[in-house]
Structure 1
Amino acid sequence: MTERTPPDTRAAYRRFVALGTRWGDNDVYGHVNNVVYYAFFDTAVNQVLIEDGALDIAASPVIGLVVETGCRYFRSVAFPDRITAGIRVAHRGRSSVRYEVGLFRGDDDTAAAQGHFVHVYVDRATQRPVELPDALRAVLDPLLVGPA
């Protein structure tokens, strides 16, 4: 049997976003339902892109479409836990980005869950892949931990 890779610590991430759990996030088992973790990932990354001026959700001519996702769970999270999302960019290609997100419960130093998703950036009107805009690259480069 292969030993499972341990969770990352906060030191593995470049940027942090505070998130809160909501009453409706808990499922019948008393913890945040697995589908909510994906919403946490999406919210954290898009919050950074919006705050740093790389994304205007209503008007940006280039938008990111999710083409791949994944998540590994280590510890349960439940309402009313405070969550901090650590964000890093593992790969930045010509038209795609692999974002990796660690979710940290309260002040814990190790991730309760870790996930990733890949955005392919496309022209909003044509939905065809395009090169990453300079404004987006400027936001991504400080988050980059892998090859560009």
Structure 2
Amino acid sequence: MAREARAPRPTRSDFVAWRVATTRWADDDVYGHMNNARYFELIDTAVNAHLAEATGTDIRRLPAIGVVAEVSCRYFREVGYPAPIDLGLAVERLGTSSVTYRIGIFQGDPDGSGAEAAAEGRFVHVYVDNEDPARPSTPIPDAIRAAVAPLAV
């Protein structure tokens, strides 16, 4: 069976929008690097904070909301406390009712060890009707589409 080619390790130039996160003592696990669960919290926060800021609204109150359909992370090197983390965002796919994001996690000097991603997350939002208890999928709201379209690469 042929082995699948892996996507190359992302660099800062692969991302469009940026956020900074502060690492905390409690983020590190017993091995001295950031716990895996923390990566997923950062990925989720980076996407939703961008949406809230770019739309200028409480995205939880829109008629259609994005729910997570898929999330994954590729790890390349350790990160941890006490250095800040740069989170790069890009949109890989913008569909009718879903958005696929890529989130680069960088730590260190942008011209040195922090030029390549320490990890890369993939995050899929599917938009559902926020008013129907059955939560059927629905088109992405115009405000969200306007906020994410500039992130497309």
Same fold (TM over 0.5): yes
Which of 113, 117, 123 lines up with 1:117 in the alignment? 123
Residue 70 of structure 1 contacts residue 115 of structure 1 at CA under 8 Å; is this kept in 2?
yes
Aligned length: 145
Q: With structure 1 as the length reference, what TM-score do the two structures score?
A: 0.91
Runs of 4+ in 1 over 6 A off after TM superposition: none
Q: Percent identity?
A: 47
Q: Distance in 2 between matches of 1:74 and 1:81?
A: 17
> 3-state SS of the aligned residue for 2:39?
helix
Q: Shift of the alpha carbon at 1:57?
A: 4.1
Alignment deviations for residues 101-127 of structure 1 (CA, whole Å, 9 cap, x no partner):
000003211100001011101111221
Residue 49 of structure 1 contacts residue 139 of structure 1 at CA under 8 Å; is this kept in 2?
yes
| RMSD across aligned positions (CA) | 1.6
Q: Distance in 1 between matches of 2:128 and 2:106?
A: 31
Q: Which runs of 5+ in 1 are unaligned?
A: none
Q: Which runs of 5+ in 2 are unaligned?
A: none
Q: Distance in 1 between matches of 2:102 and 2:22?
A: 19
Residue 51 of structure 2 contacts residue 59 of structure 2 at CA under 8 Å; is this kept in 1?
no
Q: Which residue of 1 aligns with 2:146?
A: 138
Q: Which residue of 2 aligns with 1:66?
A: 68
Alignment deviations for residues 69-115 of structure 1 (CA, whole Å, 9 cap, x no partner):
11100010111121010000000111000011000003211100001
Q: Which residue of 1 aligns with 2:83?
A: 81
Q: Distance in 1 between matches of 2:55 and 2:98?
A: 18
Task: Please show how residues 1-148 of structure 1 align to structure 2 within 5 Å.
Answer: 5-53=7-55, 55-107=57-109, 108-126=114-132, 127-145=135-153
Q: Shift of the alpha carbon at 1:6?
A: 3.6
Q: Distance in 1 between matches of 2:86 and 2:93?
A: 22
